[in-house]
Chain A
Amino acid sequence: MALGISSLMNLISRFLVELQDITLLFWRMLRGLRKQPRYFDEMVRQMDLIGVGSLAIVSLTGFFTGCVLILQAYPTLEYYGAQSSAGQSVAITLIRELGPVLCALMVAGRVGSAISAELGSMVVSQQIDAMRALGTSPARKLVTPRVVALVVTLPLLTVAADIFGLIGGGIIARYLYALDANSYITSLRTGITIQDILGGIVKPIVFGFLIGLISCHKGLTTQGGTVGVGKSTTDAVVLSSITIIIADFFLSKVLQGFFSSTLF
């Protein structure tokens, strides 16, 4: 029993220390935004790497998610005679939830792992030490451009995933269930509200920020040689993914409250 409590305390204190480190990194990163040099080129390079590089997998994910949504939902809708709201049903699930979350998970897997592996091997090969020795702050030079790039590109990627998802859903509805294309599009247009779109943009901004900060933190705190790089990479992906899913719930709740109080 005593052992259980002490190991729990241990876990909590480790969590708090980690949280403190991440917060510290956050502040350093913000300082990096404010001060010269701003490493603008690096930011653009990262956006290209993250954004353009992830476009294919994200679109593919979105497309097949849209397909499967309509595949599963259509029979039920048909049963209730509500085929005409097929478009709306895909749009709402995709734009509010699945688009942002799946996209963020894909990017966490692809980019988060790459970031922490890159920074981790820089730690192990003393390049981070060399960077500090040469008078640059790794937080500013490495973390800020990556986090900014993620915050900018993830919403764009999410929009791409949403669009491909809607197209995928439309194709299945049209060719598998012979739904009239016009009916699908009309249902889409009436079904999507401005709140859905805003929420669908706010979420990936937060997720991008979380992926960037967590992956950079895990990479920069790599310990124990090349084996440590593998561990911090795994940690980065697992921790970002879990954080995304948890944050998604709370964000949805907050957004719900926010829109119901201001817009209506």
Chain B
Amino acid sequence: MFDIETQVEPVSEASPFGPAIEFRDVELAFDDRVILDKISFTIRRGETKIVLGGSGSGKSTIIKLVLGLLRPDAGTIFIDGEDITQCDEQELTEIRKKIGMVFQEGALFDSLSVYDNVAYRLAEEGIDEDEIEHEVIRMLRFVDLEDAIDKMPIELSGGMRRRVGIARALVGSPPIVLFDEPTAGLDPPTARTICELAIKLRDLEGVSSIFVTHEMNNLKYLSSEYAIVDGEGRVHFEEEGDKLCLINTKVMMIKQGAIIFDGTDEELQLTSDPYIHRFIKGR
């Protein structure tokens, strides 16, 4: 059992061209239940990976593994070329500084105001108050919640809470952002705004991201539209057409802890797998 030495290829040590996130044969089980079964995938720098999958298929678990909130039973996970499965909590803290996370339920700190929630990361790093205030206001404007700055999380609606969560994740401009069902339960215009946000991060800031979702229109927006800035600094969204095809967005589908599809959205539409077909067509 122990005589097979697993050959780990040398990783491009934090090279600027290496992948942002890489999973190699990652396994995880809770008690006896296998949650993830030998998952392998890569996300290149500046790429958005849309993760689809039914409820309980293991999507949030993958995101928690990226952050090091859970440890895999086997396999390796690389963030920016660094193997995080070997890191202790201290080193993980350093790596987490590069990652912004939007939690499924928002996970705002109840005891802190919206301002302090968004400012949290910067305040922890001991950045001075003026700079924090400037950045917090900028982020809240980004998610269109400037008015709520002094409110407590309990006073916000679900959608507002989600957007505060997004602002908190994006503060300090992390190069990797993880979205866990950021649009679930929101009205279509707000959901659309959040998708536009993700598109802007991808196309204008070069952020690498994982975007977990159930919703097909999210998939459509993210995989067919791109953001450009015009001469006056305004952001426009355009659909990909014959002259331009998005290559920085990939789709991955999970079923019961295994990857059943990994490729572009065009390939996804063409697949013959009946499960995938039902998932994307809804019947």
Contacts and interface: CB of A to CB of B under 8 A. Distances in A.
Interface of A: 36-37, 122, 125-127, 129-137
Interface of B: 64, 67, 69, 89, 93-94, 96-97, 99, 101, 103-105, 107-110, 120-121, 124-126, 168
Given A126-B103, A126-B105, A133 B67 contact: yes
Contacts of A130: 101, 103, 107-109
A235 to B, nearest CB: 21
Contacts, number: 51
A143 to B, nearest CB: 14
A129 B120 contact: no
Contacts of B94: 135
A125 B126 contact: no
B126 A37 contact: yes
Given A127-B110, A129-B69, A134 B105 contact: no
A36 B93 CA distance: 14
B96 A134 contact: yes
Given A134-B96, A135-B93, A129 B124 contact: no
A136 B124 CA distance: 7
A37 B103 contact: no
A135 B69 CA distance: 11
B103 A134 contact: no
Nearest to B99: A133
A132 B42 CA distance: 24
B210 to A, nearest CB: 13
Nearest to B165: A130
Given A130-B107, A133-B96, 11 more contacts: A36-B126, A37-B124, A126-B104, A130-B108, A130-B109, A132-B67, A133-B101, A133-B103, A135-B124, A135-B125, A136-B124
Given A134-B96, A136-B124, A129 B64 contact: yes
A122 B124 CA distance: 18
Contacts of B121: 134-135
A126 B107 contact: yes
Given A37-B126, A133-B69, A136-B124, A125 B96 contact: no
7 contacts: A122-B110, A126-B103, A126-B105, A130-B108, A131-B109, A133-B67, A133-B69
